[in-house]
């Protein structure tokens, strides 16, 4: 007889194995892990369990170690299963009987008695988790004095941000959807909303896009029919923004699969862009553009609220690989800007190697980002860049971490 909910826990275990042992992202691991599940709700539960384990793994491991005479190895299956059981009990409010009924069968043929004993001991002790997750040592040292505020922002998954096709209707959509707005063209809703069932989805009135991710395109201003190149465009939120702002958009990305999603959203919103499937390292445009937006591939450590796998996958090797790729793309992008044209460079990374360190030697003039272009509480740096972190706008639900810089090519 099948145990209700067991399939979701098996999928969560597969997700965690893919991240922690094989270094895959949750997004890339999800299709295979969640494929056998019967419903979207089952898949969402598997993802929620895995995400909570990854957010709180350091603290969950400490609890497990406090109840074992001999430390379980990091790769031991019982450690991962126990972390899942604790995450469900302490973070997802799953009843204890359900935690045990769906956790221990994952260790069939293995040390079920050990896992049951450890879990029961911790329940009897009435253990709890700290107010905010503890970061892995390597991450905490890398982020330094910023680490505490970033960790505090990881306590809860992020809300749902929408970018509106018509910023002039911001107040109306915020009221209709029951959300708040942090700036014109943006509406924020509580997490958990079924996106496709929300008012305005079928009409293409908005698209899902993190608040911080919407800022780079806004910094290019109104298009007024001018040309813009959106490099590394998929899944396409910035392309939609630029098209809605009146730019003639050429969107390029190497992933045909991800560009298919952009095409769907263009069709849904009624917006228009030229789409090119190509690797920007090899592609060459026929003519320069009035503006270029390079939201470069990166380690995505700034998205740790929604993608806690980055806390455990990303290290010096991955940062070095991305830094090299970004430098190559930035060099090419700078050469495709018309005289007096703009270049906006952005990465959803918290690593200086991918952000401010990339700006050295760029053969363009800084076009400083100003306070008046930004939402309240966000300020540009002294160099005219914008650096956001997950701990910012905490009272309104936080935001992803981004580095954004704007440059202009001299007319001479």
Q: How buried is residue 343: exposed, middle or buried, by Cβ count under 10 Å (0-12/13-18/19+)?
A: buried
Rounded CA gap, 72 and 56, in Å?
Answer: 17
Please tell me the distance from the alpha carbon of residue 222 to that of residue 76, in angstroms, as a whole number: 55
Q: Is the distance from CB of 133 to CB of 126 less than 8 angstroms?
A: no
d(CA 275, CA 392): 34
* 3-class SS of residue 227: strand
Both tokens of 321, joined, read 């690989």
Phi/psi zone of residue 234: left (φ > 0), alpha (ψ -120 to 50 degrees), beta?
Answer: beta
Active site residues: 348
Angle (CA) 26-31-36 rounded to 5° is: 125
In terms of DSSP bridges, do strands 186-189 and 160-164 run parallel, antiparallel, or are they unpaired? antiparallel
Query: Where do we find the tokens 């003639």?
Result: 248
């Amino acid at each position: 007889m099948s145990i209700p909910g067991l399939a979701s826990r098996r999928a969560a275990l597969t997700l965690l194995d893919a991240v922690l042992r094989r270094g895959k992202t949750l997004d890339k691991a999800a299709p295979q892990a969640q494929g056998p599940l019967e419903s979207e709700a089952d898949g969402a539960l598997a993802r929620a369990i895995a995400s909570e384990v990854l957010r709180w793994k350091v603290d969950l491991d400490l609890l497990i170690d406090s109840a074992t005479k001999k430390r379980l190895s990091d790769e031991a299956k019982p450690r991962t299963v126990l972390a899942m059981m604790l995450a469900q009990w302490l973070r997802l409010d799953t009843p204890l009987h359900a935690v045990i009924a769906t956790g221990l069968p994952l260790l069939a043929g293995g040390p079920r008695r050990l896992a049951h004993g450890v879990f029961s001991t911790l329940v009897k002790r009435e253990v709890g988790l700290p107010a905010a997750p503890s970061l892995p040592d390597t991450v905490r040292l890398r982020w330094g004095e910023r680490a505490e505020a970033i960790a505090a922002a990881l306590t809860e998954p992020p809300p749902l941000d929408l970018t509106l096709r018509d910023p002039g209707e911001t107040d109306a959509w915020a009221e209709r959807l029951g959300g708040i707005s942090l700036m014109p063209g943006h509406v924020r809703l509580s997490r958990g909303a079924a996106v496709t069932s929300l008012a305005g989805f079928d009409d293409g009135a908005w698209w899902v896009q993190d608040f911080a991710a919407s800022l780079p395109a806004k910094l290019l201003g109104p298009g007024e029919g001018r040309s813009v190149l959106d490099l590394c465009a998929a899944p396409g939120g910035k392309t939609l923004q630029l098209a809605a702002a009146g730019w003639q958009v050429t969107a390029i990305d190497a992933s045909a699969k991800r560009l298919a999603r952009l095409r769907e959203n263009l069709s849904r919103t009624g917006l228009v862009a030229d789409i090119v499937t190509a690797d920007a390292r090899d592609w060459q445009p026929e003519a320069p553009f009035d503006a270029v937006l390079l939201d470069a591939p990166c380690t995505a450590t700034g998205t740790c609220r929604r993608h806690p796998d980055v806390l455990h996958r990303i290290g010096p090797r991955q940062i070095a690989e991305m830094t090299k790729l970004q430098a190559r793309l930035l060099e090419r992008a700078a050469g495709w800007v018309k005289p007096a044209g703009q270049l906006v460079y952005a990465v959803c990374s918290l690593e200086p190697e991918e952000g401010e360190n990339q700006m050295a030697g760029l053969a363009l003039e800084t076009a400083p980002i100003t306070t008046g272009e930004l939402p309240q509480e966000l300020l540009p740096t002294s160099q005219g860049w914008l650096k956001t972190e997950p701990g910012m706008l905490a009272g309104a639900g936080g935001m992803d971490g981004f580095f954004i810089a704007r440059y202009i090519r001299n007319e001479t």
